[in-house]
Amino acid sequence: MHDTTPVVRFHRMIPSVRLPERADRSAGGTIPVRAARHCDALTSASAFGYYLFAPMDLSLLWDGDAIFWTYAGTDRWLPLEAAQFPQFSSTFDDAAPEGLQGCAPPFLSALPEPGCLQIWTGLFARTRPEWSLLLRPLVNFPNASGYVPFEGVVETDRWFGPLFTNLRLTRTNTPIRLHADLPLVQAQPLPRCLYTDTVLNRFETTDMADLDAADWQAFRDTIVIPNQEPQRPLGRVAVANRRRRAGTCPAGELAMG
């Protein structure tokens, strides 16, 4: 029997935040139609993970030294040190058990590095044992205007707290807009074993002279023969890959540690 336990469970803490969504093979409709139809490598990467959103519309401003922020409901730029999501502190205190009142996570925090800040997605997350979440920039989306998310691996099977990301602002003296209805970052679940030194140090390199007959045959089957067929159907590799991936992973694969 397959284990149906979710690989990741997202907990919405800020009630207004848009719920995570499965990432889209077309990267939100931004990649070329030909690539969306025929390039399985690109579309598979685009669909790997989940879109996470900013909890509200807001604007950021970096003057080269300090960072300021503003949002609907305020008519001025607020200097950023550490800021709570509007009205969230009382919402958190009403829900939290005794002893945890006053412990609401900050929404925005300026970091010591120039032009860098931390933003909370409004979510907590819990993954299956031995699984983590990689938070990274959106895959195959056009570059965000004015900021770049850092990448980070959060071991969310052990660490239960705010799911945040760090942003590096890339533009000074011009407002940078974050939209609550557009993805902010992409979260990708990873078995912890994939990024251990034991696995990553297990690699080798060779030269062309080291290829054997099986390697050359694989090159012939993959590249040469298909390009000698003038009437070959477009996207044949993509179709074959999708058929091979159809169905679910065996429970043992999902539980790998």
Task: Tell me the pLDDT tens digit for each residue of 107-165.
Answer: 999 999 999 999 999 999 999 999 999 999 999 998 888 999 999 999 999 999 999 99
Residue 29 has pLDDT above 50, yes or no: yes
Neighbours of 116 (CB within 10 A): 18
String of DSSP letters for 164-188 = EEEEEE--SSS-EEE-TTSEEEEEE
Mean pLDDT score of the chain: 90
Find the range with the poorest average confidence among 79-88, 105-114, 248-257.
248-257
- pLDDT above 70 covers a percentage of the chain that reads 88
Q: Are 196 and 149 in contact (CB under 8 A)?
A: no
Dist. CA 31–CA 141, nearest whole Å: 8
Q: Are 138 and 186 in contact (CB under 8 A)?
A: yes
The two tokens of residue 39 are: 């390039």
Predicted pLDDT of residue 242: 55
Task: Tell me the pLDDT tens digit for each residue of 40-84.
Answer: 899 999 999 999 999 999 999 999 999 999 999 899 999 999 999
In which band, very low, low, confident or very high, does the pLDDT at 222 lie, cut at 50, 70 and 90? Answer: confident
Q: Are 26 and 46 in contact (CB under 8 A)?
A: yes
Neighbours of 55 (CB within 10 A): 25
Given the candidates 3.55.30.10, 3.40.50.2300, 3.30.420.40, 2.70.40.10, the CATH classification of the domain at 8-199 is: 2.70.40.10
H-run or E-run covering 136? strand 131-136
In which band, very low, low, confident or very high, does the pLDDT at 257 lie, cut at 50, 70 and 90? Answer: very low
The rounded Cα 153 to chain-centroid distance in angstroms is: 10
Residue 235 has pLDDT above 90, yes or no: no
By the 10 Å C-beta count (0-12 exposed, 13-18 middle, 19+ buried), 204 is classed as exposed
The rounded Cα 15 to chain-centroid distance in angstroms is: 21
In which band, very low, low, confident or very high, does the pLDDT at 37 lie, cut at 50, 70 and 90? Answer: confident
- pLDDT above 90 covers a percentage of the chain that reads 75
Nearest to 63 by CA among 15, 14, 114: 114
pTM of full prediction above 0.85: yes
Predicted pLDDT of residue 30: 86
Q: 114 phi and psi, to 5 degrees?
A: -55, 130
Give domain limits for the chain: 8-199
Q: Which of 12-21, 37-46, 233-242 has the highest mean pLDDT?
A: 12-21
The two tokens of residue 2 are: 């397959």
